[in-house]
Chain A
Amino acid sequence: MVRIGGFIVGVGFVFALLLGIFDTVYNWIKEPPAATAEHEFHAHPKKVDFSFNGFFGKYDNRQLQRGLQVYKEVCAACHSLRLVSFRDLEALGYSEGQVKTIAKGFQVPSLNPETGEPATRDGSPADRFPLVYANDVAARAANNNAIPPDLSLMAKARHDGSNYVYSLLTGYKDQKGYKNEKGEELLKHFPEAKTPEGLHFNPYFATLNLAMAQPLKDGQVTYSDGTAATLDNYAKDVSAFLTWTAEPKMEARKTAGLATLIFLVIFCFLAYGAKKQIWRNVKD
């Protein structure tokens, strides 16, 4: 009974699928899917040799501090960092006093104690980085109908995030004459992919054109530790900083991981030895 019922159901599903297979093949031959500009010209992120890569990777605090500087002087104009508290910055090697000073440099929401109207006050270490815009509508109004995303998790919210941020920031290109690895020219193959008004071409961005103009240029930020004031360095440093904002516990995680793996490898040897010992007289 079960087998008969099952057979009928099976034949039913298979028949519906065969119709689908026929349809798929037919349409594939009749109308092969067209390649899209995004598919052919989207570039994979460039690989950066970050200090925090790998099993034993660690953050470079100097680099993170430079990245914070780039964020404050350039990115903070539009991008919030709302999940990071000022007190977290002590992990970058700042003293309590330095953290207080950084916090004071930002205005956080507060209330006027007399009238109860919304007001702002100087930030304190317990506060988080404040939002830039009051709400999404204000954000769009100020940025050509695009919302600058919060950057706290950007390095985890994109595939290969750390390399992606670096590649995006250094990846702005002139669309005219742009060729991909195969040597095909974008505008020749996909003339309709011309960058719309108000957007900017960047092959590292998923849809190739994004609302943010190139934010960083050589010489824009002056580093106090002598690191060269180049776009490449800014991009690396701010990308490292954003990796930290997304994963502040990375170093603790890797250290705990190493200890755990060593512990478990030893345990496996002990367990296997014990098993062999206990089973020594039993052929199995």
Chain B
Amino acid sequence: MATHDDAVTQDGAIDAPADPRRRDYLAIGAVAWAGVGAGVVALPLINQMSPSADVLALSTTELDVSAIQPGQSVKASFRKQPLFVRNLTQKEIDEANAVPVSDLRDPQTLAQRTKEGKQNWLITLGVCTHLGCVPLGAGEGENKGPFGGYFCPCHGSAYDTAGRIRTGPAPTNLHVPEYEFISDTAIRVG
């Protein structure tokens, strides 16, 4: 047994290592293993902020559109935001197709904004792309604006019969969400 106390070693590094190969590795290993653990634990802490299961369940909406006559539109809800579902008349379709695409701020044809064979169904979010107000024109008797589509009363953005921005401060057309026809009379959005 040592007669002098070698606890005077203040720091493991100063002490001449008895076995340099084994020195420190356990400590490094333990800290690294703990680091792995910390990283794994961080995952649920971060992931808990992602949408919860009930929010994800409401991320799709199904709608029966059979009651909507040509020329009519309804306001529905999609992910807690307004959804405009409009059944265009032939006149409105022709009006939309007559506009030269190069004239548009956000160039898109009606065909690009609808499904093939269902060009009369215009489905867009009812959220003005300027600052987020709900435009008029989807409800019975509401002001459809100078282009016969939608009109935002907040700052005067006017959308045409294809929901495209024509005048006013909004930068882009009304957003068309992902949707599909699950039957001739029903759509699934989202």
Contact = CB atoms under 8 A, between A and B. Distances in A.
Interface stretch (A67-75, A194-202, A219-227, A270-278): A270-278
A64 B26 CA distance: 47
A267 B40 CA distance: 14
B106 to A, nearest CB: 33
A278 B6 contact: no
A270 B37 contact: no
Contact of B57 (A85, A281, A282, A283): A85
A266 B33 contact: yes
A87 B18 CA distance: 63
A281 B53 contact: no
Contacts of B54: 85, 126
B140 to A, nearest CB: 13
B101 interface: no
A22 interface: no
Interface stretch (B7-15, B80-88, B127-135, B175-183): B7-15
A271 B18 contact: no
Interface residues on B, range: 20 to 34
Given A87-B57, A126-B54, A267-B34, A278 B7 contact: no
Given A126-B57, A277-B24, 11 more contacts: A266-B33, A267-B30, A270-B26, A273-B26, A273-B30, A274-B27, A274-B29, A277-B27, A278-B12, A283-B5, A283-B7
Interface in B18-60: 18, 22-24, 26-27, 29-30, 33-34, 37, 40, 53-54, 57-58
7 contacts: A85-B57, A267-B37, A277-B22, A277-B27, A281-B6, A281-B9, A281-B15
Contacts of A56: none
A271 B30 contact: yes
A121 to B, nearest CB: 12
A281 B53 CA distance: 55
B22 A267 contact: no
Contacts of A263: 33, 37, 40
A17 B37 CA distance: 52
Interface string A118-162: 000000111000000000000000000000000000000000000
A39 interface: no
Given A267-B37, A270-B30, A277 B23 contact: yes
For the complex, would chain A's binding face be called helix, strand, loop or mixed by DSSP majority? helix
A280 interface: yes
A258 to B, nearest CB: 14
Given A87-B53, A274-B26, A274-B30, A126 B58 contact: yes
Contacts of A124: 62
B7 A281 contact: yes
A278 B37 contact: no
Contact of B29 (A87, A264, A270, A280): A270
A282 B30 contact: no
A158 B53 CA distance: 27
B128 to A, nearest CB: 26
Nearest to B5: A283
